[in-house]
Amino acid sequence: METTIDSNGLGGFQTRQDRILCIRSQINRSSEELDRINEKLGAKDTPLEEWLRLSDIRNNLTVSIHRKEEELSRLTDSRRLDQPKRANYSY
């Protein structure tokens, strides 16, 4: 059974499938939160300070979702399993 070290730095181990399920769950929660933020940003009565705060949260969520999707892609792409990223040194 393949295992990966969890990302919280506690040194616990998870199976690859558990990690995939965890990442998908995180993406879903972040996407739901992003939807709620977008609704609030679209409201006409949102004060400027609140709009700026929500905009920052939205940007952070977007980056977080993108990173989790990249990690999920690395875990689920059968061609790249257990292969580190390699630089292309072709000139």
81 falls within a domain: no
Summarised one tens digit per residue, pLDDT across range 25-69 is 999 999 999 999 999 999 889 899 999 999 999 999 999 999 999
Question: If pLDDT is split at 50, 70 and 90, which confidence band does 10 have?
Answer: very low
59 falls within a domain: yes
Instruction: Work out the average pLDDT over 3-17.
Output: 59
Residue 66 belongs to domain spanning: 3-75
Q: How many domains does the chain have?
A: 1
Residue 66 is predicted with a pLDDT of: 95
- DSSP 8-state symbol, 77: -
51 falls within a domain: yes
Residue 8 vs residues 14, 16, 19, 89, 90: alpha-carbon distances, Å:
12, 15, 12, 33, 36
Q: When comparing pLDDT for 46 and 13, which is higher?
A: 46
Rounded to two decimals, what is the model's pTM? 0.66
